[in-house]
A = this chain, B = another copy of it.
Amino acid sequence: MTWLPAWLRAYRPSWLAGDLTAGLIVTVMLIPQSLAYALLAGLPPEVGLYASILPIVAYALLGSSMTLAVGPVAVASLMTASALQPLAAAGSAEYVTLAVQLSLISGVMLLAFGALRLGFLAYFLSHPVIGGFITGSAVLIAVGQLKYIFGVKVAGSDVLETLTGLVKALPQTQPVTLTIGGASLLFLLLARRYLAQVLTRLGVPAKAADLMTKLAPMVAVIASTAVVAMFKLNETAGVSVVGNIPQGLPQLNLSLPGMSTLGQLWLPALLITLIGFVESVSVAQSLALKRQQRIQPNRELLGLGAANVASALSGGYPVTGGFARSVVNFAAGAHTPLAGVISAALMALVIATLTGLFYYLPHAVLAATIIVAVTSLIDLQTLKEAWHYDRADALSLVATALGVVALGVEVGILTGVVLSLGVLVWRSSHPHMAVVGRVPDTEHFRNVARHAVQTVPGLLALRVDESLFFANATVLEDRVEALLSQDATVRRVLLICSAVNQIDTTALGVLTQLERSLAARGIEFMLAEVKGPVMDRLRPTELGQRMQQRVFLSVHEAFEYASQTNSAALRPG
């Protein structure tokens, strides 16, 4: 029985009530969401349902979060659409096959990253880049859904084209569709804003009221489906509806991508993989912390990888941990992934018997569900905080969001990654440097510009507060030369390396040249407080050999040496 997950082996009967309730509530959220996100991904509705059964079970067996709700999510659906639209017509059999294969590729990548412990790749996505990406994606998604609310046809490959197309198509607005879509949108927005308050005043406990709010989309789905079915609005008023969904459980089937498909899908799959992983782990972690549980990133890679492979096997598309459903799952009392397994079983039941009920479900209501869901992803708070804390990070966020909106999800996120790397290099290329002197009667050394300190005549002591590498080595050299040109009496240059964690080949070259150039002018180059690992690598180099006698353990020792070998005493700063 050791192959069973730990939570199942340790299962306590007292957990069952919570898991059952959570499983049920999540299912009621999952039905409209899985249909809506399939629509967003350009896929037939059943693909969304398929992606909501086996992946949950697979994650339950391998993942490390007790409460993460895996399945179709908005951002991965958008990324799927963006990856596949250049390759096949949305909704076509080829398009569905590509979506299934995209899920397989992403699943295999996740498993490989887990096996090779490459989860750190996700660290290349900084918070501002992820925040900007999610916000930009939310705008892109919301704008893309407006056509369903108005009941018009709009083809546009970017936001501007979509919006202008929408404005041009407004005269063709279908009034009944707009009424249904608009009413749903209004209902969902009002429900999110006020329903919990109203219910609490009516005497419903606060927690239950909160959960009931999450069921509003299902209410909109049921009500609108009933109205459309009653008046056959799909025939009489041209309301676009979901239509036939094939009934029955998905067939298990493995569709392997060919080399050319691999070539086209690897980059989108990688981005879906990384974004999905980061988002999923951050949700899982924030929930786990509330119960003193731990998330193991490598286990998450395996769990999400298995979920995506399971999705591909059962005709689904890329899945990951969703924010809203996970939070509800947690709040509804889920203790273990059994809640997810119950959801999966209920979804299987629905797809095996009840798909006919969705025939009259209007696309406009699904679009309203999506729009309301994604507007909560627009994150201006992070932007505000970043703006105050770190202007460059805030600009990365804005650039990523604009990049996503204007240039699409892939170019957008790559822009963000390149920008955040650029910011990193730019920052490190402007290191803080200070000329230091000794605080009188101590072994402490401080910036001569800020403190009354003592200096040794002829000694220039410079502290550099950054690792030395290609982007800042020349800056250091320039600074030394500038200081020398200001003070012709300098006979010794001491570089204090207490904050230098690394010296790369380029910086080593610059320092070597600096030492030689100083030596040619009769100026002695000295080092102090070189960290152990840095010194170990420096020792066998040409510079290390030449400097042997001039590397001091502490600044104090270097000052002692300089003042002893110097006729003049310490002069007050």
Q: Which residues of A contact B (CB under 8 A)?
A: 120, 123-129, 286, 289-290, 292, 294, 297, 385-386, 388-390, 393-394, 420-421, 424-429, 431-432, 465-467, 469-475, 478, 481, 485, 498-499, 501-502, 504-506, 508-509, 513, 516-517, 520-521, 531, 533, 537, 540-541
Q: Is the CB of B292 within 8 A of A505?
A: no
Q: Is the CB of B425 within 8 A of A424?
A: yes
Q: Given the known A-B contacts A123-B470, A469-B424, A509-B127, are A504 and B390 also in contact in the complex, defined by CB atoms under 8 Å?
A: yes
In the complex, chain B residues whose CB is within 8 Å of the CB of A471? 120, 123-124, 126
Q: Which of B294, B393, B481, B498 contacts A505 (CB 8 A)?
A: B393
In the complex, chain B residues whose CB is within 8 Å of the CB of A469? 126, 424
Q: How many copies does the complex hold?
A: 2
In the complex, chain B residues whose CB is within 8 Å of the CB of A466? 467, 501
Closest to A521 in B: B292
Q: Is the CB of B501 within 8 A of A498?
A: no
Q: Is the CB of B481 within 8 A of A294?
A: yes
Query: How far, in angstroms, from A478 to B504 measured CA to CA in the complex?
Result: 27
Offer 13 A-B interface pairs, CB within 8 angstroms, sorted by A.
Answer: A124-B470, A125-B470, A126-B504, A289-B516, A292-B521, A386-B505, A388-B540, A388-B541, A389-B505, A390-B537, A393-B506, A424-B469, A498-B498
Closest to A533 in B: B432
In the complex, chain B residues whose CB is within 8 Å of the CB of A426? 120
Closest to A431 in B: B501
Closest to A517 in B: B289
In the complex, chain B residues whose CB is within 8 Å of the CB of A501? 431-432, 465-466, 499
Query: How far, in angstroms, from A428 to B428 measured CA to CA in the complex?
Result: 11
The 6 closest A-B pairs by CB, nearest first: A126-B470, A393-B505, A127-B506, A123-B471, A126-B506, A289-B517
Q: Which of B129, B297, B425, B465 contacts A421 (CB 8 A)?
A: B425
Closest to A469 in B: B424
In the complex, chain B residues whose CB is within 8 Å of the CB of A498? 498-499
In the complex, chain B residues whose CB is within 8 Å of the CB of A485? 294
Q: Is the CB of B472 within 8 A of A429?
A: no
Q: Is the CB of B502 within 8 A of A499?
A: no
Query: In angstroms, how far is the closest chain B Cβ from the Cβ of A423?
Result: 8
Closest to A427 in B: B502
Q: Given the known A-B contacts A393-B505, A420-B470, A485-B294, are A123 and B427 also in contact in the complex, defined by CB atoms under 8 Å?
A: no
Query: How far, in angstroms, from A254 to B12 measured CA to CA in the complex?
Result: 84
In the complex, chain B residues whose CB is within 8 Å of the CB of A531? 465
Q: Is the CB of A505 within 8 A of B470?
A: no
Q: Is the CB of A120 within 8 A of B390?
A: no
Closest to A424 in B: B469
Q: A289-B516, A289-B520, A424-B424 are in contact. List 14 more A-B contacts (CB 8 A).
A: A124-B425, A126-B469, A126-B470, A126-B504, A126-B505, A128-B505, A289-B513, A389-B541, A390-B504, A390-B505, A393-B505, A465-B501, A498-B498, A498-B499
Query: In angstroms, how far is the closest chain B Cβ from the Cβ of A249?
Result: 39
In the complex, chain B residues whose CB is within 8 Å of the CB of A499? 498-499, 501
Query: In angstroms, how far is the closest chain B Cβ from the Cβ of A498?
Result: 7
Q: Which of B290, B429, B520, B540 contacts A123 (CB 8 A)?
A: B429
In the complex, chain B residues whose CB is within 8 Å of the CB of A289? 513, 516-517, 520
In the complex, chain B residues whose CB is within 8 Å of the CB of A125? 470
In the complex, chain B residues whose CB is within 8 Å of the CB of A516? 289
In the complex, chain B residues whose CB is within 8 Å of the CB of A467? 428, 466
Query: In angstroms, how far is the closest chain B Cβ from the Cβ of A396?
Result: 9
Q: Is the CB of B421 within 8 A of A127?
A: no
Query: How far, in angstroms, from A172 to B531 measured CA to CA in the complex?
Result: 63
Query: How far, in angstroms, from A38 to B12 measured CA to CA in the complex?
Result: 82
Query: How far, in angstroms, from A509 to B285 measured CA to CA in the complex?
Result: 13
Query: How far, in angstroms, from A75 to B104 measured CA to CA in the complex?
Result: 45
In the complex, chain B residues whose CB is within 8 Å of the CB of A478? 297
